[in-house]
């Protein structure tokens, strides 16, 4: 999901610095010229590693975990513990699991193509009412009830309501500026969030599966829906889901906010220009309602994928209305504190309570107003290790280590998202961090172990984009590491697999650099091993590499053809 690069680090002996090769989608970050380093006093390696937007970083040989946050009181959520369907126990050959000499992978957020901005137009409004159809449950379907996911499978013949009829919402009749937004939602008993805002408790019973077979659908894939009518949008997205269903997939992780922009009608974030052409200008229909409806018609679980910290590019920021918190902060004294420009892309700074409140309320808005089945984030945490990003907040914090400060603030953000999601619905909340946890902790400041122990992450879908012969981070070893991390907790583990690597040289994989070129059964063998290790499912990156001809090569198609029987049986 990110472009991942490394240069070899030289110690007294040559170490293979191994990470995933470049993801060939447009979702890559523009390289940075920054060279600032973290003011850590810990022992460091002898070499500085250049890795894209993170600049030259001197890595610590030790990676201490911050104090484990306490579990959240007052939130009850029982995870599904239904065993995964039996899969062949065949274990493919692979390298030994030894990451002691490997450096962390790095990755970077995405960019999109430049877009033209045009003036907004005036609007009229009309009432739109949408109802989701009832659905039949399948044997491995889990429908959560009152915030609890039952470990008992629903009877196959029992119909389950998809929730109450969606309430009326005032929306523009044609593409128009968001001069008036409403939150007219008829929901169950209201819940007051920790931030003090009131959001409805959605009575919809989330649909999730005991064994997840999922695909990431990013904003890149959704650009194919640009400019369509309501019917055209529904038909096109429905066709995408038909492809997923034919592949045997039961879950989709779909971008609904990639750059601080909403693919839905929001009071907190401007509407995306990726669908309307102009930031803050809505389509005549609510895209998220349509995508959820189409998914549920097919018994597909829909997880709303957000990037909580990444905002827009520099050219778009002045266009955001002051009605929105980000627009207000840009024009106020919060500029450079709550929101920070990192090499032309703006990011929220999680060091501030007000920022984490916005992130949490953004989740509350989605879960209370839409019948999503989950909230999903990936590995877009701190965008830089440069001290200047949050120097003001850190200098007044009382912390003696900026690393610990950032780790704790990142954990506080994740905890807030979990709290928000479970306050307002029966959804699951999960993250797709990088496969390499050294990098998660020391570069992105994401303490995945603390999230598990703290009890505020429902699932991980780590991006384990390595081959079995990868010299630094072999697939087996990384899966086993993640199984150890979630062991003894309620956190479920889905294995993120990289379709895009099929047939390509993995140039950072050391002795395994040609592995993806010498096989067409990599994904099949990876699923088999993940299942044998006790993982709860797989997630494929991404839709285009499976189904879109201009992306999917012959090698990718061969890999998918060999994997498909395991998904459809």
Neighbours of 142 (CB within 10 A): 25
Neighbours of 370 (CB within 10 A): 24
Q: E strands of 432-541, at which residues? A: 459-460, 492-493, 495-498, 537-541
Q: Which helix (H) or strand (E) holds 428?
A: strand 428-431
Neighbours of 301 (CB within 10 A): 25
- Single out the residue of 231, 224, 323 nearest to residue 275, CA to CA: 224
Distance CA 200, CA 525 (A): 44
Q: Which residues pair with 537 in a beta bridge?
A: 212
Over residues 26-38, mean pLDDT: 32
Neighbours of 553 (CB within 10 A): 15
Higher pLDDT pick, 199 / 157:
199
Distance CA 38, CA 22 (A): 26
- pLDDT tens-place string over residues 290-334: 999 999 999 999 999 999 999 999 999 999 999 999 999 999 999
- pLDDT tens-place string over residues 220-279: 999 999 999 999 999 999 999 999 999 999 999 999 999 999 999 999 999 999 999 999
Q: E strands of 273-367, at which residues? A: 281-282, 301-306, 310-313, 339-342, 345-348
**Whether 7 contacts 20, CB under 8 Å:** no
> Is pTM, for the whole model, over 0.85?
no
pLDDT of amino acid 370: 98
Please check whether the domain covering 44-67+133-176+206-305+351-568 is classified as CATH 3.20.20.80. Answer: yes
pLDDT of amino acid 562: 98
Distance CA 67, CA 404 (A): 9
**Whether 288 contacts 282, CB under 8 Å:** no
Over residues 94-113, mean pLDDT: 32
Task: Considering only the C-alpha atoms of the chain, give the largest distance between any 2 of them, rounded to a whole number of Å.
Answer: 70
pLDDT of amino acid 320: 98
pLDDT tier at 100 (50, 70, 90 boundaries)?
very low
Distance CA 505, CA 120 (A): 46
Neighbours of 532 (CB within 10 A): 15
Tokens 């194919």 -> residue:
224
**Whether 432 contacts 471, CB under 8 Å:** no
Task: Quote the tokens at residue 539.
Answer: 């997630």
- pLDDT tens-place string over residues 361-392: 999 999 999 999 999 999 999 999 999 999 99
Examine the pLDDT at 337 and tell me if it is beyond 90. yes
Q: How far, rounded to the nearest angstrom, does the alpha carbon of residue 69 sit from its chain's CA centroid?
A: 22
**DSSP, res 52:** G
Task: Quote the tokens at residue 44.
Answer: 């460091």
Cα distances (Å, whole numbers) of residue 400 to 209, 508, 546: 44, 35, 47
- pLDDT tens-place string over residues 121-155: 322 222 222 333 333 444 455 554 333 333 333 32
Whole-number CA gyration radius for the chain: 22
β-strand pairing of 198-201 with 135-136: unpaired
Q: How far, rounded to the nearest angstrom, does the alpha carbon of residue 54 sit from its chain's CA centroid?
A: 20
Cα distances (Å, whole numbers) of residue 515 to 21, 501, 507, 509: 12, 10, 10, 9
Q: Which helix (H) or strand (E) holds 256?
A: strand 251-257
Cα distances (Å, whole numbers) of residue 402 to 44, 62, 388, 439: 16, 15, 11, 16
* Cα-Cα-Cα-Cα dihedral sign, residues 256, 257, 263, 268: positive
- pLDDT tens-place string over residues 478-515: 999 999 999 999 999 999 999 999 999 999 999 999 99
Helix, strand, coil distribution of the chain in percent, nearest 5 = 30, 20, 50
User: H/E/C letters for each residue in 57-86?
Assistant: EEEECCCCCCCCCCCCCCCCCCCCCCCCCC
Distance CA 249, CA 567 (A): 7
Query: What whole-number percentage of the chain has pLDDT above 90?
Result: 65
Examine the pLDDT at 115 and tell me if it is beyond 60. no
Distance CA 444, CA 442 (A): 6
pLDDT of amino acid 198: 81
Examine the pLDDT at 218 and tell me if it is beyond 90. yes
Question: 143 phi and psi, to 5 degrees?
Answer: -110, 115
Geometric angle at alpha carbon 210, from 209 and 214, rounded to 5°: 50
Task: Quote the tokens at residue 506.
Answer: 């993995």
In sequence order, the 6+-apart residues with CB closer than 8 A to the CB of 338 are 329, 348, 349, 352, 354, 355
Q: Which helix (H) or strand (E) holds 213?
A: strand 212-217
Cα distances (Å, whole numbers) of residue 231 to 165, 240, 263, 367, 533: 20, 14, 17, 25, 44
**Whether 311 contacts 348, CB under 8 Å:** yes
Examine the pLDDT at 439 and tell me if it is beyond 50. yes
Examine the pLDDT at 458 and tell me if it is beyond 90. yes
- Single out the residue of 255, 226, 225, 227 nearest to residue 240, CA to CA: 225
In sequence order, the 6+-apart residues with CB closer than 8 A to the CB of 416 are 194, 356, 357, 359, 360
Higher pLDDT pick, 178 / 205:
205
Domain boundaries, the chain: 44-67+133-176+206-305+351-568
Q: Which helix (H) or strand (E) holds 297?
A: helix 287-297
Examine the pLDDT at 161 and tell me if it is beyond 70. no
Point out the least confidently predicted range of 47-51, 345-349, 438-442, 455-459: 47-51
């Amino acid at each position: 999901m990110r472009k991942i690069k490394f240069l070899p680090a030289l110690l007294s002996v040559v170490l293979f610095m191994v990470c995933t090769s470049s993801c060939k989608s447009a979702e890559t970050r523009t390289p940075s010229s920054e060279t600032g380093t973290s003011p850590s006093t810990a022992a460091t390696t002898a070499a500085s590693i250049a890795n894209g937007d993170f600049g030259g970083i001197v890595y610590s040989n030790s990676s201490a975990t911050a104090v484990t946050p306490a579990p959240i009181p007052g939130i009850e959520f029982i995870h599904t513990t239904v065993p995964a369907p039996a899969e062949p126990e065949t274990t493919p050959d692979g390298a030994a699991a030894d990451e002691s000499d490997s450096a962390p992978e790095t990755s970077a957020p995405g960019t999109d193509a430049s877009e033209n901005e045009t003036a907004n137009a005036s609007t009229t409004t009309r009432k739109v009412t949408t109802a989701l159809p009832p659905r039949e449950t399948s044997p491995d379907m889990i429908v959560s009830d009152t915030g609890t996911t039952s470990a008992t499978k629903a009877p196959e013949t029992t119909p389950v309501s998809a929730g109450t009829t969606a309430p009326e919402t005032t929306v523009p009749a044609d593409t128009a500026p968001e001069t008036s937004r409403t939150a007219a939602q008829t929901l169950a008993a209201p819940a007051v969030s920790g931030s003090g805002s009131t959001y409805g408790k959605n009575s919809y019973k989330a649909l999730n599966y005991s064994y997840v077979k999922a695909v990431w659908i990013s904003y890149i894939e959704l650009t194919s829906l640009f400019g369509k009518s309501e019917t055209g949008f529904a038909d096109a997205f429905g066709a995408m889901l038909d492809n997923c269903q034919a592949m045997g997939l039961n879950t989709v992780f779909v971008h609904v906010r990639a750059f601080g922009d909403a693919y839905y009608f929001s009071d907190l974030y401007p509407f995306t220009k990726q669908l309307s052409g102009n930031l803050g200008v809505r389509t005549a229909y609510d895209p998220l309602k349509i995508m959820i409806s189409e998914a549920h018609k097919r018994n597909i679980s829909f997880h709303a994928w957000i990037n909580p910290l990444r905002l827009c590019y520099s050219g778009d920021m002045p266009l955001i209305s002051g009605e929105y918190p980000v627009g207000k902060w840009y024009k106020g004294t919060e500029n450079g504190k709550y929101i920070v420009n990192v090499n032309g892309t703006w990011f929220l700074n999680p060091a501030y309570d007000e920022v984490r409140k916005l992130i949490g309320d953004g989740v509350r808005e989605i879960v209370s107003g839409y019948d999503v089945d989950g909230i999903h984030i990936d590995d877009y945490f701190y965008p830089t290790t440069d001290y200047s990003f949050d120097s003001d907040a850190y200098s007044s914090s009382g912390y003696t280590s900026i690393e610990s400060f950032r780790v704790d603030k990142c954990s506080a953000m994740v905890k807030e998202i979990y709290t928000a999601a479970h306050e307002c619905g029966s959804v699951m909340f999960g993250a797709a961090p990088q496969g390499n946890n050294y990098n998660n902790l020391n570069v992105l400041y994401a303490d995945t172990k603390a999230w598990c122990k703290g009890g505020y992450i429902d699932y991980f879908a780590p991006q384990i984009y390595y081959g079995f012969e990868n010299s630094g981070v072999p697939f087996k070893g990384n899966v086993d590491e993640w199984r150890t991390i979630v062991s003894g907790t309620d956190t479920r583990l889905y294995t993120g697999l990289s379709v895009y690597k099929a047939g390509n040289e993995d140039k950072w994989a050391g002795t395994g650099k040609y592995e993806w070129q010498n096989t067409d059964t990599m994904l099949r063998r990876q699923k088999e091993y993940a299942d044998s290790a006790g993982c709860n499912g797989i997630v494929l990156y991404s839709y285009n590499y499976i189904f879109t001809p201009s992306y999917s090569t012959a090698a990718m198609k061969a890999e998918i053809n060999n994997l498909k029987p395991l998904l459809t049986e």
